Amino acid sequence: MFEGKIGFIGLGIMGKPMAKNLIKAGYKLVVYDKFAAFDDITALGAEGASSNKEVASKSDLIITMLPNSPHVKEAILEKDSVIEGAKSGAIIVDMSSIAPAVSQEIGKALKAKNIAFLDAPVSGGEPKAIEGTLAIMVGGEKAVFEKVKPVLEKMGSSAVHVGELGAGNVTKLANQIIVALNIAAVSEAFTLAAKAGVDPEAVFDAIKGGLAGSTVMNAKVPMILEGNFKPGFRIELHIKDLQNVLDTAKEIDVPVPFTGSVMDILQELKDSGCAANDHSAIVKYYEKLAKVEVRKK
């Protein structure tokens, strides 16, 4: 078990259950969120702080779980930030999904202060955050990863070191491409079945055990069949991740045409008022065009 106090910054839809799992595991936490209330976390025994700087000053390991690159940079590098409060030798683990280049930029600034940094984004959404079964992909120094791995394993079913700093977020971008394209493929296929008059629930039962079966299909088709688009993982967040994919792909000259197509679908859904829907609502795009709903009969 990691010895020392853990700071946790970012107590939203993902961060809050992750912090709760650390408390359940017996770790002592100092917590802060600029926007979200965290009384329920302090009620469980965590110490509340009034700034990112205060969290860092009281912690040996600081975890951040924030929406996007600008929020992470602000929390770690700007006014009243982690870098101002962290002790020499501290470790920061950013579990947000951000641009790999930003992770590298933050890591360089922290290294100058003798503060270790890992990028450790997660996959699994709110349900797996609550269960403590997230998939965690980690970039940075292997020795630092080994020190914090026991902590990460209280929030996830797996924590895998994938390479140097930034590699964690590259891996998450790859994950988000596959998830988005998979949901789009599922939506396209099941819309076809529904329009052809075949029961989509029967189609699901017939193919889920074959080569087309996937974790995405098993998680999202039941939601689609029920017309349940409560997130999960919001469309607006998947747009954020795919924008990081497109930006990174442009920087390193990699073609991602299918990602661009799904991004257009997500943007159209956002514009039509579906930004806060689960990303399984990609099916709504196909349903609208085909004039059919993919639902249980």
Indicate the Cα dihedral angle 78, 82, 83, 86, nearest 10°.
160
Q: Give per-residue burial for 230-257: e unless 16+ CB within 10 Å, then b.
A: ebbbbbbbbbbbbebbeebbeeeeeebe
Give dist(CA 292, CA 195) in Å, integer: 6
Residues designated as active site: 172
Give yes or no for a cis peptide into 232 (omega within 30° of 0).
yes
Q: Cβ-count burial of 41 within 10 angstroms (0-12 exposed, 13-18 middle, 19+ buried)?
A: buried
DSSP 149-210: HHHHTTTEEEEEEEESTTHHHHHHHHHHHHHHHHHHHHHHHHHHHHHTT--HHHHHHHHTTS
Number of DSSP helices (H) and strands (E) in the chain, helices first: 14, 9
In the numeric block, the tokens 């390991």 are attached to 61
